[in-house]
Structure 1
């Protein structure tokens, strides 16, 4: 009877190995930042739990703060991809608008995103390095979100009271501030109230005929 042999594992290129290391550190770092906060998370412990040395973290990110920014950037990229695919699947301007509204309301009541965004804001107030990263991420978020709204208002039955970039800035800042407060209050009813208020704000600023 022939002996079956396992296929030899493909040797990763240097770029693939680095990408794998970065992905693992980002995933574990995200868990630590959610649990301990940016100030409480420990770089060495993150690296250890990810299965790497302290040096691996510092060679890929330069430190805990840079890893945290990478976590935020990955979150932003995932959200943007989600919104783009969500709108791409729906040809109706009115339905696209409703999908966008409901998705934003869900995002702004997502516990993990609320915590990470709040940590990012606090970090930006305390660290000039993080503040600079916050500015870059925020500007990119406005550009990307503005593009989504610009695409929405191309539909003849959709109108906005604000310019696309201004609309996104209002939604991001007011909705997130509301979500943080309601999350601290803690009641399930508060979360529903947050979702309803965000949806109402959205409908007030942009609507369909």
Structure 2
């Protein structure tokens, strides 16, 4: 195998930094993770971090984007698993029970939301990141309902926002009290499907 080009090496370094930062942010939170710690854990100099990210906020926002994409892929796999709609909803429900309220992920998002109160730049960036997560939810819901041959009783954007909002709120509650069931998210999706019409 030949040597990596400069751009390939830079991309590899950036990906490794993001992966390392994800693990640290999830374990220690935003405040508890420094760029020095990311550099040390990844085996790079602090300069390597700053050559890829202008600050910790930018790195953390990229981490959140990676987490959202990963969770979206997991949901897509769940909603595609099984022969019947109920099989697929059951797989999604298992995902929700195992994932919603994950302390690292939930608290990291919540920590950034709190910080954005007095940081307009962070609030704007978070708005974009959450908008991308909403787009993922819209695409997942649209693909799922199309595969079932049904049309939702409301625009997919509104339905996705509703389910996403419910999931986020429930995730915060479950991060504190994991005995709360995540079934309500799947039941809400069942209600939407029950009131849908054939295409």
> Same-fold call, TM > 0.5?
yes
Residue aligning to 2:125: 133
In structure 1, the residue corresponding to 2:66 is in which secondary structure?
A: helix
**Structure 2 residue aligned with 1:3:** none
Instruction: Identify which of 52, 59, 63 aligns with 2:51.
Output: 59
Instruction: Give the superposition deviation at 1:169.
Output: 1.3
Counterpart mapping for 1:11-26 below 5 A: 11-26=3-18
For 2:57 and 2:148, the matched residues in 1 are separated by: 45
Name the SS for the 1:153 alignment partner. Answer: helix
Superposed, 1:39-188 pairs within 5 Å as: 39-88=31-80, 90=82, 92-155=84-147, 158=150, 160-185=152-177
The 8 Å contact of residues 138 and 157 in structure 2, kept in 1 or not, is answered as: yes
Q: Is the 8 A contact 1:25 1:57 kept in 2?
A: yes
What is the CA distance between 1:146 and its match in structure 2? 0.9
**In 2, Cα distance between equivalents of 1:143 and 1:101:** 21
Give 1:68 shift.
0.2
Distance 2:114 2:158 in 1: 23
Report SS of the residue matched to 2:49.
helix
Q: Identify unmatched segments of 5+ residues in structure 1.
A: 1-8, 186-190
Contact 1:43 1:54 survives alignment (8 Å): yes
In structure 2, the CA distance between the partners of 1:197 and 1:171, relative to structure 1 (3 Å rule), is: same
Offset, 1:102:
4.0
Which of 177, 191, 196 aligns to 2:183? It is 196
Q: Is the 8 A contact 2:106 2:172 kept in 1?
A: yes
Q: How much has 1:128 moved relative to structure 2? A: 2.0
Deviation for aligned residue 1:36? 3.1
More displaced 10-residue stretch of structure 1: 131-140 or 50-59 = 131-140
**Alpha-carbon contact 1:38-1:123 (below 8 Å) kept:** no
Residues 165-208 of structure 1: per-residue CA shift (max 9 Å, x gap): 112212222222222123223xxxxx242323333333333348
Given that residues 53 and 59 in structure 2 are in contact (C-alpha distance below 8 angstroms), is that contact kept between their aligned partners in structure 1? yes
Query: Structure 1-normalised TM-score?
Result: 0.78
- Pair 1:172–1:121, CA change in 2 (3 A): farther
Report the alpha carbon displacement of residue 93 of structure 1 after superposing the two structures with TM: 4.1
8 A Cα contact 1:179 1:194, kept in partner: no
Cα contact 1:153–1:160 (8 A) shared by 2 = yes
Q: Which is higher, the Rg of structure 1 or of structure 2?
A: 1
Higher relative contact order at CA 8 Å, sep ≥6: structure 1 or structure 2? 2
Q: TM-score, normalised on structure 2?
A: 0.82
2: distance between equivalents of 1:82 and 1:26? 19
Count of residues paired in the alignment = 196
Contact 2:93 2:183 in 1 (8 A): no
